[in-house]
Structure 1
Amino acid sequence: MEGRRISASPRPCNGRRIVARKRPRSEGVVNSVQKLMRREISSKRDRSFSMSNAQERFRNIQLQEEFDTYDPKENSLLLPYLRKRSKIIEIVAARDIVFALAQSGICAAFSRVTNERICFLNGSPDEVIRSLFYNKNNESLITVSVYGSENFSSLRCRTTRIEYIRRGKPDSGFPLFETESLKWPGFVEFDDVNGKVLTYSAQDSTYKVFDLKNYTLLYSISDKNVQEIKISPGIMLLIYTRTSSYVPLKILSIEDGTLLKSFNHLLHRNKKVDFIEQFNEKLLVKQDGENLQILDVRNFQLTEVSRTEFMTPSAFIFLYELQLFLTFRNRSVAVWNFRGELVTSFEDHLLWHPDCNTNNIYITSDQDLIISYCKADSDDSSSDGAGRVNAGSINISNILTGKCLAKIRAGCGAAKDNNKKKGSSSRSYSRFNNTVSEALEDITALFYDEDRDEIYTGNRQGLVHVWSN
């Protein structure tokens, strides 16, 4: 899964910086040098085959299953807030189990073998689960929760083996980071790329780095002047309190916290800093109304991109294998390199959500495809019978070319709407409450299971739909 930061704020917004998902390799977590070497010796001559294969993979995709996270009988003992039907905000799949988290804080696990709900993961009546993280290192699911007994102000983490959940025993896990005070504005961040967990305790202004494999503490950073920490492959960027003309920065080894470089980056006076991001040896700095600066921290060579060409995005996705990054702004997606050049503009990938809900975006492990919930073209749209066009489409596009390879849409193609709902004589659709057209309305979460070649989507009704061949 991507690097994900969960704040102790009762209702946090999505973090700006998202790390592209990476499937773990057999040799485990490797350092940046090995990654770069592997990238250089990989010629990727099979890209054209991969594109045609992707088109074939998604050509006949159809709506196969529907799951419901809402169960008034099962949840009758929970807090009133948790008993309400609410939209799906996060989907994670692991080992033939689909986990769906609703905005209310209810999290349900469904089996793709039996196509039935296994259990709910909420361990107590006042537990509100805020986020999920699948830890591939030990085949477990980490839940991050807040509790009514603590006024929903302090994060609590718990890990449970996938096998226990499969058996319907979600209470067989154990708590993590119990010694940490993760009250607002504290947070916990899971970094799959480096195999680390970063926690921040606002109570004593201490950052701590843990091993994601066994959750042992590796080192601590105690400094009240640190305003932010950004994680990149092999390193961490410490951003300190800015002065009027510069911001102090430090680069540390992610493995042991060793100081690798310390320097000041000059700023334009009285200009707000839009963002500071670190990607390997490249530092990206953007101030309000100013050019984007790309600084190579090895030799301090500076590249600037005109503010008219590069406007502040609402979110990033860094593509570590390709040495590129995606930007999201006003429903549009673009691909850039670290010379400040626009690499790709997508031909047909207008996102549905204007605020760039990154839970509706999936990057494949090879970082060649982006799967998103998009606005449908006028020719693609479907009507709900009352003349209203309100269904979007799931678009699969090639990241390097921007070409739309496949599209799941209502009323045509593989996902043709059969208008068969619950009670239909068709056995394959007998458990559906939603038609294809309805399933493509108001999608609020999306996940692609690369092992099963299935797309899972969740909507505002708390329903999860399975799309596959």
Structure 2
Amino acid sequence: MDKKIQSSPRPSCGRRILAGKRQRPDESKNCVKKLLRREISRAGNWAFNRSNSQEKFRNFHLQEEFDTHDPKAHQFLKLPFLKKRSRIVEIVAARDTVFALTHSGICAAFSRETNKRICFLNISSDEVIRSLFYNKNNDSLITVSVYASDNFSSLKCRTTPIEYIRRGQPDAGFPLFESESLRWPGFVEFDDVNGKVLTYSAQDRIYKVFDLKNYTMLYSISDKHVQEIKISPGIMLLIFDKAPSHVPLKILSIEDGSVLKAFNHLLHRNKKVDFIEQFNEKLLVKQENENLQILDVRNSQLTEVSRTEFMTPSAFIFLYENQLFLTFRNRTVAVWNFRGELVTSFEDHLLWYPDCNTNNIYITSEQDLIISYCKAHPDNCGEEAVGSINISNILTGKCLAKIRADDPNVGISPRARGNSSVIRSTVQEALEDVTALFYDEERNEIYTGNRHGLVHTLTRSPVMSHDLIA
């Protein structure tokens, strides 16, 4: 996954992303018959995986509530907007620690072991944290911030080991990329797929690539005609200033910056370029009111998809494991392959937000499931007050599970009664206006954040042993 943060004063965080209970017959309660039916099924592993996914998301209940707002702790802050309640815009979980970032710029860390807030990550009274990135290479959290003293104009990065945060020592980290002037329109982009960081210093007009493991600089790119850089597994695509009839392109090795290929891609004159995207050897180019072009840069083979079939999406998610990509447009999600064929249309996955807020979308590491905040009743033309969390299979489009407030099987988890914290929200309030979502695959827990600055944990409640086998 790629994540790009630009240094404009207060924009929304931009991202590039390079991912009811069914009635059963009585015999299905017999474990032996379940296993036998699974083994002789024509559907084979696919059926088992689907059933296993359905089981994983059954019996989800509200178990915990965390609050990012603390009037006493916020008294030291200089900026008035930091002291007010603000919606959650980003959630990250790592090593039983949950990090929640608010729109105002406050970031809080919570422990899933003690179910208490550990600390706030703002170590300066005028610090506004803009984004978070978990660096799994060295088990640390990178925060990207702007400061009032700098008129919010320059990005500052800091890395802090998760272990220090767990000890309540958020100031034990150290700054990154101090040599770079990340003022508007500069940016920093974290590339988890290749283990690299790309920075752009607008003052010097220089791009630099750093190693995400130890933050050493690998090489720089200095060319005033570079308009944009797109990162793909193993390579980078350099997009240069457009000429009247073509756009110059270069493909570089992500490891050392060496040029692998340089070529021009022909364009329709006087037509705006909607997007240029690179995915391995495939180049995707779309101009206004023109067909989608998919170019194989190895052999120059060109595939076109009619503009009536493929309309310009608002966002992409590339699925490297499956050699597919997701498109988002008007609350709908679709899956395409690189032959220009529509692979999947989702049967029940109408997104809640029309602008494709990717903080409300999670793709599992196997890239087989998409978890999103959706319309609970997509066939209802009226405005719903509460959405649902939908879990769908990416390859089939089937909805495997829905966590809805009006589901009688969804409630407050019995385990929550023994927790030291208090859940003040109802299930309906927890699923109302969800502004951020994260799925912890190791713990099988879903974390949601809402406009009140509250974080809720949804987890599977204990079930009888005969329910554990699909």
User: SS at the partner of 1:171?
Assistant: helix
Distance 2:384 2:232 in 1: 42
For residues 6-405 of structure 1, what are the structure 2 equivalents within 5 Å?
6-15=5-14, 17-20=16-19, 46-78=45-77, 79-377=79-377, 389-405=384-400
How much does 1:48 deviate?
2.4
Structure 1 length-normalised TM: 0.90
Asked if structure 2 preserves the Cα contact closer than 8 Å seen for 1:410 and 1:417, the reply is no
One-letter identity of the residue aligned with 2:328: F
Distance 1:266 1:303 in 2: 14
| Compared CA separation, residues 140 and 378, structure 1 to 2 (3 A) | closer
Aligned to 2:401: 406
Distance 1:341 1:379 in 2: 27
| Compared CA separation, residues 300 and 5, structure 1 to 2 (3 A) | same
Asked if structure 2 preserves the Cα contact closer than 8 Å seen for 1:293 and 1:304, the reply is yes
| Compared CA separation, residues 164 and 216, structure 1 to 2 (3 A) | same
Asked if structure 2 preserves the Cα contact closer than 8 Å seen for 1:408 and 1:414, the reply is no
Asked if structure 1 preserves the Cα contact closer than 8 Å seen for 2:115 and 2:419, the reply is no
Distance 1:276 1:456 in 2: 34
Distance 2:54 2:309 in 1: 32
Distance 1:417 1:164 in 2: 32
One-letter identity of the residue aligned with 1:145: S
Which of residues 417, 441, 445 is equivalent to 1:454? 445
Tell me, yes or no, if structure 1 residue 463 matches structure 2 residue 462: no
How much does 1:174 deviate?
0.2
Query: What CA deviation, in whole Å up to 9, does each residue of 1:355-375 have, x standing for no partner?
Result: 000000000000000000001
* Runs of 4+ with deviation above 2 angstroms: 11-17, 44-48, 378-381, 425-430
Distance 1:353 1:175 in 2: 35
Which of residues 423, 426, 431 is equivalent to 1:435? 426
Asked if structure 2 preserves the Cα contact closer than 8 Å seen for 1:63 and 1:466, the reply is yes
Distance 1:206 1:414 in 2: 56
Structure 2 length-normalised TM: 0.90
User: SS at the partner of 1:269?
Assistant: coil
How much does 1:81 deviate?
1.4
Structure 1 unaligned spans of 5+:
21-43, 382-386
One-letter identity of the residue aligned with 2:81: Y
Aligned to 1:25: none
| Compared CA separation, residues 458 and 346, structure 1 to 2 (3 A) | same
One-letter identity of the residue aligned with 2:427: V
Aligned to 1:26: none
Query: What CA deviation, in whole Å up to 9, does each residue of 1:339-385 have, x standing for no partner?
Result: 0000000000000000000000000000000000001117999xxxx
How much does 1:413 deviate?
4.6
Asked if structure 2 preserves the Cα contact closer than 8 Å seen for 1:417 and 1:437, the reply is no
Asked if structure 2 preserves the Cα contact closer than 8 Å seen for 1:59 and 1:414, the reply is no
Distance 1:45 1:174 in 2: 51
Structure 2 unaligned spans of 5+:
20-42, 461-470
Asked if structure 1 preserves the Cα contact closer than 8 Å seen for 2:290 and 2:307, the reply is yes
Asked if structure 1 preserves the Cα contact closer than 8 Å seen for 2:4 and 2:15, the reply is no
Distance 1:168 1:115 in 2: 14
Distance 2:393 2:101 in 1: 29
Q: Percent identity?
A: 77
Distance 1:380 1:136 in 2: 42
One-letter identity of the residue aligned with 1:159: T
User: SS at the partner of 2:17?
Assistant: strand
User: SS at the partner of 2:401?
Assistant: strand
